[in-house]
Structure 1
Amino acid sequence: MKIKRQKTAKKLLAFYKYNYGFREPFQILLDGTFCQAALKNKIQIKEQMPKYLMGGVQLCTTSCVLKELQSLGKELYGAKLIAQRFQTRNCSHLKKPVGAKMCLLSMVENNNPHHYFVATQDQDLSVKIKKIPGVPLMYIVQNTMVLEKPSSQSIAQQQSLQSNQFVPVYQQETIQQLKEEQGLVKEPRRKKRKRKGGPNPLSCLKKKVRPPQQPSKEKRRRRARKKMRITESSVKVESTM
Structure 2
Amino acid sequence: MRAKRAKSYRKAMQFYQQAFGFREPYQILVSPDFILAGVSKQVPVKARLEEAVQGQAKFLVTHCGISELLKSSSDFRTQAITASKEFEKRRCPHQEPIAGLDCIREIMGDENKNNYCVAVQDDELRAKLRTVPGVPILHVKQSVVVLERKSQVAKDASKKMEQDKLGLSELERSMLRAVKKQANEGKSEKRKKKKKTAGPKGPNPLSIKKATKKPQPAKTTKSLTSKSGQEEKRVGSIPVTTPAATTTGTKRPRTEGDSSVPAKKTATVSGTPAASEDGVKHKRKRNRSAKNRGTANDSAAAVSQVPSS
Q: Secondary structure at the match of 2:121?
A: coil
Task: Give the alignment of 1:190-229 within 5 angstroms.
Answer: none
Distance (Å, rounded) in 2 between the aligned partners of 1:152 and 1:99? 29
User: What percent identity do the matched residue pairs reach?
Assistant: 28
Task: Give the alignment of 1:1-241 within 5 angstroms.
Answer: 2-77=2-77, 78-93=79-94, 95-165=95-165
Is there any run of 5+ residues in structure 1 with no aligned partner, and where? 170-241
Q: What TM-score do you get using the length of structure 1 for normalisation?
A: 0.64
Higher relative contact order (CA 8 A, sep 6+): 1
The answer as to whether partners of 1:108 and 1:135 remain within 8 angstroms in 2 is: no
Greater helix fraction, Structure 1 or Structure 2:
1
Q: Secondary structure at the match of 1:145?
A: strand
In structure 2, relative to structure 1, the CA distance for the partners of 1:3 and 1:168 (3 Å cut) is farther
Larger Rg: 2
Q: Can you list the C-alpha shifts for 1:118-140, whole angstroms capped at 9, x where unaligned?
A: 00111111111111111110001
Distance (Å, rounded) in 2 between the aligned partners of 1:61 and 1:166? 38
Distance (Å, rounded) in 2 between the aligned partners of 1:76 and 1:20? 36
Distance (Å, rounded) in 2 between the aligned partners of 1:165 and 1:82? 43
Distance (Å, rounded) in 1 between the aligned partners of 2:160 and 2:67? 40
Q: Name the aligned partner's letter for residue 49 of structure 1.
A: L
Is there any run of 5+ residues in structure 2 with no aligned partner, and where? 170-309
Distance (Å, rounded) in 1 between the aligned partners of 2:167 and 2:118? 26
In structure 2, relative to structure 1, the CA distance for the partners of 1:167 and 1:118 (3 Å cut) is farther
Q: Can you list the C-alpha shifts for 1:146-195, whole angstroms capped at 9, x where unaligned?
A: 111111211121122231457799xxxxxxxxxxxxxxxxxxxxxxxxxx
RMSD after superposition: 2.1
Distance (Å, rounded) in 1 between the aligned partners of 2:51 and 2:166? 36
Distance (Å, rounded) in 1 between the aligned partners of 2:18 and 2:111? 15
The answer as to whether partners of 2:64 and 2:98 remain within 8 angstroms in 1 is: yes
Q: Can you list the C-alpha shifts for 1:70-99, whole angstroms capped at 9, x where unaligned?
A: 112353412222122210111111x12211
Pairwise CA distance, 1:32: 1.5
The answer as to whether partners of 2:119 and 2:137 remain within 8 angstroms in 1 is: yes
Q: Can you list the C-alpha shifts for 1:25-62, whole angstroms capped at 9, x where unaligned?
A: 00111111111121122211222322332211001110
Q: Name the aligned partner's letter for residue 135 of structure 1.
A: V
In structure 2, relative to structure 1, the CA distance for the partners of 1:81 and 1:104 (3 Å cut) is same
Q: Secondary structure at the match of 1:75?
A: coil
